[in-house]
Structure 1
Amino acid sequence: MRERIPVVVQRDARGRRAAARGLWTGAELVVTLGVVLLLLVAHQLWWTNRQARAEAADTVHALERDWGGPERASDPAEPAQDTPEPLDVDDDTPVVGEEQTGGDGGGRTAAAPAPRRSQAYAVLRIPRIGLTAPVAQGVSKRGVLDKGYAGHYPGTAQPGGAGNFALAGHRNTHGEPFRHINRLRPGDPITVETRDAVYTYTVDKTLARTQPGDSGVIAAVPRSNAKPYPGYRTAGSYLTLTTCTPEFTSRYRLVVWGKLSGVRQR
Structure 2
Amino acid sequence: MTLGAVVLLLVVHQLWWTNRQAQHSAQDQVDRLERQWHARPPSTAATPAPEDDGAGARGSGKSTPPPDTTGRRATDRPPPPQDLAYAVLRIPRIGITAPIAQGVGKAAVLNKGYVGHYPHSAQPGEAGNVALAGHRNTHGEPFRYIGRLRPGDTVVIDTAEARYTYAVRRTLPETTPGDGTVLAKVPYSSVHPAYRFTAPGAYLTLTTCTPEYTSTYRLVVWGVLRSTQSR
Output the TM-score relative to the length of structure 1. 0.74
Number of the residue aligned with 1:187: 152
Post-superposition offset of 1:261: 0.3
Number of the residue aligned with 2:24: 54
Unaligned runs of 5+ in 2: 43-47, 52-63, 68-72
SS at match of 1:33: helix
Post-superposition offset of 1:189: 0.6
Cα distance between partner residues in 1 of 2:201 and 2:90: 21
Cα distance between partner residues in 2 of 1:216 and 1:199: 23
Number of the residue aligned with 1:246: 211
Structure 1 contact 164–220 (Cα < 8 Å) conserved: yes
Quickly say closer, same or farther: Cα 1:235–1:66, change in 2 above 3 A.
same
Number of the residue aligned with 2:120: 155
Number of the residue aligned with 1:222: 187
* Higher Rg of the two aligned structures: 1
- Bigger shift: 60-69 or 43-52? 60-69
Matches within 5 A, 1:118-197: 118-197=83-162
What per-residue deviation string (whole Å, max 9, x for no partner) do you get for residues 104-153 of structure 1? xxxx9525320111010000000000000000000000000000000000
Number of the residue aligned with 1:28: none
Unaligned runs of 5+ in 1: 1-30, 78-96, 101-107
Cα distance between partner residues in 2 of 1:69 and 1:216: 39
Which amino acid counterpart does residue 242 of structure 1 have in structure 2?
T
* Residue 43 of structure 1, aligned match among 5, 9, 13: 13
Number of the residue aligned with 1:198: 163
Structure 1 segments of 4+ aligned residues over 4 angstroms from their partners: 74-77, 97-100
Corresponding residue pairs, total: 208
Cα distance between partner residues in 2 of 1:65 and 1:230: 40
Cα distance between partner residues in 1 of 2:74 and 2:205: 20
Cα distance between partner residues in 1 of 2:84 and 2:187: 25
Cα distance between partner residues in 1 of 2:230 and 2:208: 30
- Bigger shift: 232-241 or 60-69? 60-69
Superposed CA RMSD = 2.1
Cα distance between partner residues in 2 of 1:112 and 1:168: 23
SS at match of 2:187: coil
Structure 2 contact 143–208 (Cα < 8 Å) conserved: yes
Cα distance between partner residues in 1 of 2:120 and 2:128: 10
Which amino acid counterpart does residue 202 of structure 2 have in structure 1?
S
Number of the residue aligned with 2:55: none
Cα distance between partner residues in 2 of 1:132 and 1:76: 25
Cα distance between partner residues in 2 of 1:188 and 1:69: 31
* Residue 34 of structure 2, aligned match among 52, 64, 67: 64
What per-residue deviation string (whole Å, max 9, x for no partner) do you get for residues 155-209 of structure 1? 0001111100000000000000000000000000110011011100000000000
Question: More relative contact order in 1 or in 2 (CA 8 Å, sep 6+)?
Answer: 2
Cα distance between partner residues in 1 of 2:25 and 2:8: 24
Quickly say closer, same or farther: Cα 1:76–1:162, change in 2 above 3 A.
closer
Number of the residue aligned with 2:54: none
Cα distance between partner residues in 2 of 1:184 and 1:69: 33
